[in-house]
Amino acid sequence: MFERVTILGAGSWGLGIAHVLNRAGLKMTMWEFDPAECATLVRERTIPGKLPGFHLPESVHVTADLQEALANTQLVLLAVPAQTLRSVVKNVNQLLPSGIGIVNLAKGIEVDSLKRMSQVILEERGDTKTPVATISGPSHAEEVVRDMPTTVVVAGQPDSFVEAVQESFSTSTFRVYKSHDLVGVELGGSLKNIIAISAGISSGLGLGDNTLGALITRGLAEISRLGLAMGASTETFAGLSGIGDLVTTCASRHSRNRFVGEAIGRGKSLQEVLQGMKMVAEGVQTARSGHRLARMYDVEMPITQQVHEVLFEGKAPSRAVGDLMERSLKEEVWQ
């Protein structure tokens, strides 16, 4: 069990997990890299636009000083965007002693290296003794801070570390399961964001429940195919970090990735959408990573392909739907 925890990142999920750990009785320090937003959070205990209506408990110490944030910590939580995680770990390396456990909360795949977040952490730490885990699953911060029952899954190594995270984070409204499939947990949590963009595009085009059901089902099939090719267990994608997170993200009004897709379906460009967003929609960059991984592993991922073409190649959303529907007919198979 942990008593002193550091959360790096004061985005919506950083704030959400701070609420969970406060309920669990842990002592926390939160680091926010932007001095102005840090000052706002210290003064107001909230950051407008990130998690409306939520106020960070006074017991959580907030600082923009990374060294101060990491002093005497027993556990580090990375609640930063996937594409900036490597640079944060580089800075952490100079300040964090060997053997301190790290929990990743980001759901993404690094674009340049195509590595999962745990791989990035271990590569940058250069320390095989570093305990590393990832938490994933259907867990919108907007509902977590309202104490709506939420279940997630944690996977990593060693097993004793994973169990300690499971026990420390579980409360009466936040239940943590454990998994031995780190690859599957990380891929499921990341790739589902691509499918959520497609669900948003479908909604923006005015399509209905039949289309959404097809996207979720066939989206899960292509995620599972890639996961299996990369060494994940197929069963993982039937769990919280697979179908659980996929359904939630595709259907929820809280989903930033669905929001991006919906705006594009209604005629906005990707640039216009992203310029109007304060928070990061991880699925945009993961569409690049997923597309490259599909080609690398020679896995058919038609929805990912069409999302990539709409986002980065100027394809009309309506044409993408047509191309999906007009593919050659085949038997329904899961893998």
Give residue-wise pLDDT tens across range 112-154: 999 999 999 999 999 778 999 999 999 999 999 999 999 999 9
Could you give the number of structural domains in the chain?
2
In a domain, 247, yes or no: yes
In whole angstroms, what is the distance from residue 177 CA to residue 191 CA?
20
> Are 154 and 279 in a shared domain?
no
> Are 194 and 292 in a shared domain?
yes
> Are 130 and 15 in a shared domain?
yes
> Are 25 and 173 in a shared domain?
yes
* The model scores a pTM over 0.75: yes
In a domain, 335, yes or no: no
In a domain, 91, yes or no: yes
> Are 127 and 20 in a shared domain?
yes
Q: Could you tell me the CATH number of the domain that includes residue 137?
A: 3.40.50.720
Whether residue 161 is predicted with pLDDT greater than 90 in this model: the reply is: yes
Whether residue 240 is predicted with pLDDT greater than 80 in this model: the reply is: yes
> Are 8 and 148 in a shared domain?
yes
CB 216 within 8 Å of CB 195: yes
Distances in whole angstroms, Cα of residue 50 to Cα of each of 28, 108, 210, 298, 311: 20, 19, 32, 39, 25
Q: Could you tell me the CATH number of the domain that includes residue 260?
A: 1.10.1040.10
> Are 171 and 218 in a shared domain?
no
Has 278 been annotated as catalytic? no
In a domain, 57, yes or no: yes
335 falls in which pLDDT band (50, 70, 90)?
low
In a domain, 330, yes or no: no
> Are 150 and 136 in a shared domain?
yes
Residue owning tokens 């101060």: 68
Give just the sign of the alpha carbon dihedral 20, 281, 245, 103: negative
Q: For the chain, what is the HEC assignment?
A: CCCEEEEECCCHHHHHHHHHHHHCCCEEEEECCCHHHHHHHHHHCCCCCCCCCCCCCCCCEEECCHHHHHCCCCEEEECCCHHHHHHHHHHHHCCCCCCCEEEECCCCECCCCCCEHHHHHHHHHCCCCCCEEEEECCCCHHHHCCCCCEEEEEEEECHHHHHHHHHHHCCCCEEEEEECCHHHHHHHHHHHHHHHHHHHHHHHCCCCHHHHHHHHHHHHHHHHHHHHHCCCCHHHHHCHHHHHHHHHHHHCCCCHHHHHHHHHHCCCCHHHHHHCCCCCCHHHHHHHHHHHHHHHCCCCCHHHHHHHHHHHCCCCHHHHHHHHHCCCCCCCCCC
Asked which of 179, 195, 224 is the last residue of a domain, the reply is: 179
In whole angstroms, what is the distance from residue 177 CA to residue 31 CA?
27
Asked which of 129, 157, 179 is the last residue of a domain, the reply is: 179
Partner residues linked to 136 by β-bridges? 153
> Are 202 and 316 in a shared domain?
yes
Q: Which of 192, 278, 315, 330 is catalytic?
A: 192
Burial of 99 (0-12, 13-18, 19+ CB in 10 A): exposed
Give percent of the chain above pLDDT 70.
Answer: 99
> Are 245 and 96 in a shared domain?
no
> Are 175 and 204 in a shared domain?
no
In a domain, 332, yes or no: no
> Are 138 and 267 in a shared domain?
no
Asked which of 156, 179, 202 is the last residue of a domain, the reply is: 179
Q: Which domain holds residue 292?
A: 183-325
In a domain, 252, yes or no: yes
105-119, 172-186, 275-289: least confident range: 275-289
pLDDT, tens digit (0-9, with 9 covering 90-100), for 306-321: 999 999 999 999 999 9
